[in-house]
A and B are shown apart, each in its own frame.
Chain A
Amino acid sequence: MIAASCVTLAVLHLMIGVRRRERTHLLYATFAVGIACFTLYELQMTQATTVAEFGLLQRWIHIPAYVLIAASIWSVHFFFGTGNARFAWALTGLYALLLAINFSSGVSINYLRIDALRPVQVWGGVTVPIADGVVNPWSRLEAAGFVLWIFFILDATVRLWRRGDRESRRKAAIVGGSFLLLGLIGASLAQLRHEGLIDFPYLRAWVVFAGLLALGYELSSEVLRAGQLARQVEAGEAQIRANAERLRLALTGARLAWWDWDLASNNVFLSDRWQEILGGPAQPVVTPFPELAALVHPDDLPALRRTLRETLRGERSEYEVDHRVRPLSGDWIWIHSRGEVVSRNASGRALRMSGVNEDITARRHAEEALAQQRTELAHLSRVAMLGELSGSLAHELNQPLAAILSNAQAAQRFLAQSPGDLAEVGAILQDIVDDDKRAGDVIRRLRLLLRKDLMEHVPLDVNEIVQDVLRLMRSDLVNRNVTVSTQLEPALPPVTGDRVQLQQVLLNLLINGCDALDGLHARERHLAVRTTFANGCIEVAVADRGRGIAPGDIERVFTPFVTTKPHGMGLGLAICRTIVDTHSGKIWAAPNAGAGTTFHFTLPVTPAKSAAAA
């Protein structure tokens, strides 16, 4: 029965071992075969009738015994992975020596001589023979070998246990524990029989069989776990596939083209969306980098290359560039490209870079349209503002024209009266020239304000802008009986921006300031304009001593269509905020300690580097 089970187990593990090319299973099969043979020999021995037959069997039983001992040593060694290899070899050698002794001394290593067979009654009324004779002294060496075997198992088990993880401890407890327990039982039984306390042979097969079962259990659960693992791997792979699918869906949904640049081959893999962006069929492509770069608009290429270089060198963590590319047909399209280096070698050299490209042409166009609208709105508001000032502007023009006319008519009279007085006429002509220039200046400033160009980015002197605007408003201020004091910080660093738009902001604040002074006594009709420079920003402040703004309204004055004036549109300050925002500045209003309101706006100064370049 044991033998049959063993053979079944042996075949099973042999198959697993062969298929998986695993030593443990092959050794286990050998172990099982050894036990099977050993059991068959023991069975034969129980049925031996003559001394000679018994002795022969006892001698040959050591062959399967050797096999199973050696197999047990090496299966434990490989299964635990902790056995001492030298110890294992030594034990195997020792047992080989015992086997040699077995065949060269006496009947077997157990007996020098067997005198007779004595039948012994075992359970169930069965009688089995046991030998009576002279014990071979080498059998002590066999006992010692058995002790060493136990010691080997103990050593491997303890080492496995000490690894500390649950898996190892379970293995150690079940396999090592069983082997040790059964080994000890076996040793105790042998000792008891040796002492003559019991008289029952042939229990070793049971003992070793139990060990085989324990090891088999573990090996099987290992096989099961491997199966589980395989299923997990399979599930994991499914998960990865699902993730890849989700990623693809996300990329498709976000209309992003994924790219992966292998720097060794200098090839760029581009997902299907890329070809679609370029106006081709949606399919992934692998393109050499130079071919890809050739698609980029020549104006955008230098900046793109610079950013790429900096990213590859690790000077910047992320690569992010807007550039144009030439599609298969049609106009340039705008691409927002971003990515990062995903792997570097040990010396930090970039190996792979990956990222996404997005078609932002529509967004770009929308932004451009928005900028255009903003420009037009600002322009309209300027025109409206100049409309408000038109009376004063006419006055500004009329003054020099009036002077010119009177001067010219005076000159005509001089020439009619005393044609020789050319000195006086010369002086008059000089005045005419000066006044003409003055009129020209007014018109030039007006034209500038009425211009409708897209925003410029040029270095500007804020103080100059303040003075320009005050010149433009001079007549209006006189008409409205408003005085303006200025406190301009000398030698301000330049800001980058649009002269006309900044003039517009200031003009708006000054006109508002004048409006706030309506109905006040002449003494109080005063505005103060101040420029200061601190923390990298130029601040311009326009303070009035007017009626002030209700605390609840002071936050809202920049909101479109919110106005405190009876005929206001409520757009002026909203446009001012837009203009200041596009100049990366801030605009706000604050009540004065005394009376009135102060409007402030800041403009960041141009960094010294670009100012020098400009």
Chain B
Amino acid sequence: MSEAKETVFIVDDDRSVLKALQRLLAASGLEVASFDSPQAFLEHYDCAVPGCLVLDVAMPGLNGLELQQELAARGGALPIVFLTGHGDVPMSVQAMKRGAVDFLTKPVDEKDLLAAIRSSFERGRRLRAAQAELAEIGRRLATLTPREREVLQHIVAGRRNKQVAGDLGIVEKTIKVHRARVMEKMQAESLAELVRIAERAGIRGTPSRD
């Protein structure tokens, strides 16, 4: 998967901290973009650019947690590493619940910061991969006819062909044909793989009527 180089976005209202972090991360060979306010970041942020966000919690105007919410609302998948002047437990719990990668206390050691950034990149990659897979499954699902989709739901629910035929009121032979088509269209080698793919797509088996 070829994509743009991952960038570390830094947002901190304290310019000397911002400058020092930028220097450190640049010297560590990372692509860095720094902003001295959440507003400036939001204006320039392109969600197509992969990477992570190193975010100061306490800032005038929009604080770190509020920016996290704002990004979530925009559907962004940018992993966030929070930096705070003082360890505020409730605040860090809230941040982590909302998906923050880490919550670091200033002054932060480069080791911890770089580790957090690395795991953010990792998470970002996984997220992007998962998103890509999901998109592929969606594309495959879209090729199914309504009847095939119905059959898929029954199969995923673990019902036998005969039972499905009974449920849908069609002959078992026709079910077998539909099933083969579904396996082919969904590019599943086995029933187990089909179930996994369907689960990925959030398709739940149609429950038994008996």
B86 contacts A403, CB within 8 Å?
A: no
A483 contacts B58, CB within 8 Å?
A: no
Whether a CB of chain A sits under 8 angstroms from the CB of B17 is yes
CA distance A434 to B86 in the complex (A): 22
Contact with A along B14-41 (1 / 0, CB 8 A): 1011011101101110000000000000
Beyond A413-B27, A478-B60, whether A401 also contacts B106 by CB under 8 A is: yes
Stretch at the interface among B107-115, B116-124, B195-203: B107-115
Beyond A394-B85, A431-B19, A431-B20, whether A404 also contacts B107 by CB under 8 A is: yes
Contact with B along A381-413 (1 / 0, CB 8 A): 000000000010011101111111111011001
B23 contacts A406, CB within 8 Å?
A: yes
**Chain A nearest CB, measured from B66 CB (Å):** 10
Contacts of B163 in A (CB 8 A): none
CA distance A241 to B14 in the complex (A): 85
A410 contacts B27, CB within 8 Å?
A: yes
Which residue on B lies nearest to A400, using beta carbons?
B16
Within A82-126, which residues are at the interface with B (CB < 8 Å)?
none
A401 contacts B28, CB within 8 Å?
A: no
Contacts of A481 in B (CB 8 A): 60, 63
B23 contacts A399, CB within 8 Å?
A: no
Which residue on A lies nearest to B14, using beta carbons?
A399
Contacts of A535 in B (CB 8 A): none
CA distance A402 to B18 in the complex (A): 10
CA distance A403 to B85 in the complex (A): 12
B20 contacts A410, CB within 8 Å?
A: yes
B59 contacts A407, CB within 8 Å?
A: no
**Chain B nearest CB, measured from A408 CB (Å):** 9
Give the most central of B27, B58, B83, B86: most A CB within 10 Å: B27
Classify chain B's interface size. 20 to 34
Within A482-505, which residues are at the interface with B (CB < 8 Å)?
483
B16 contacts A428, CB within 8 Å?
A: no
A413 contacts B60, CB within 8 Å?
A: no
Contacts of A478 in B (CB 8 A): 13, 58-60
Which residue on A lies nearest to B19, using beta carbons?
A431
Partner of B27, one of A405, A417, A431, A438: A417
CA distance A413 to B20 in the complex (A): 12
Contact with A along B139-158 (1 / 0, CB 8 A): 00000000000000000000
Which residue on B lies nearest to A476, using beta carbons?
B58
Contacts of A428 in B (CB 8 A): 23
Beyond A413-B28, A417-B27, whether A402 also contacts B60 by CB under 8 A is: no
CA distance A431 to B105 in the complex (A): 21
CA distance A409 to B113 in the complex (A): 12
**Chain A nearest CB, measured from B60 CB (Å):** 5
Which residue on A lies nearest to B15, using beta carbons?
A403
A402 contacts B106, CB within 8 Å?
A: yes
Beyond A399-B85, A407-B24, whether A479 also contacts B58 by CB under 8 A is: yes
Contacts of A475 in B (CB 8 A): 58, 85
Whether a CB of chain B sits under 8 angstroms from the CB of A322 is no
**Chain A nearest CB, measured from B150 CB (Å):** 52
A406 contacts B17, CB within 8 Å?
A: yes
Within A218-251, which residues are at the interface with B (CB < 8 Å)?
none
B17 contacts A402, CB within 8 Å?
A: yes
Contacts of B106 in A (CB 8 A): 398-399, 401-402
A→B interface (CB under 8 Å): 391, 394-396, 398-407, 409-410, 413-414, 417, 428, 431, 434-435, 438, 475, 478-479, 481, 483
Q: With A404-B107, A413-B27 given, can you name 19 additional A-B contacts, CB distance below 8 Å?
A: A391-B88, A394-B85, A398-B86, A398-B107, A399-B14, A401-B107, A402-B83, A402-B106, A404-B20, A405-B20, A405-B107, A406-B17, A406-B110, A409-B24, A410-B24, A413-B28, A434-B16, A478-B13, A481-B60
A-B residue pairs in contact (CB < 8 Å), sample of 29: A391-B85, A391-B88, A394-B85, A395-B85, A396-B85, A398-B105, A398-B107, A399-B17, A400-B16, A403-B16, A403-B19, A403-B20, A405-B108, A406-B107, A406-B108, A407-B24, A409-B24, A409-B109, A410-B20, A410-B23, A410-B26, A410-B27, A413-B110, A428-B23, A434-B16, A435-B16, A435-B20, A475-B58, A483-B60
B→A interface (CB under 8 Å): 13-14, 16-17, 19-21, 23-24, 26-28, 58-60, 63, 83, 85-86, 88, 105-110
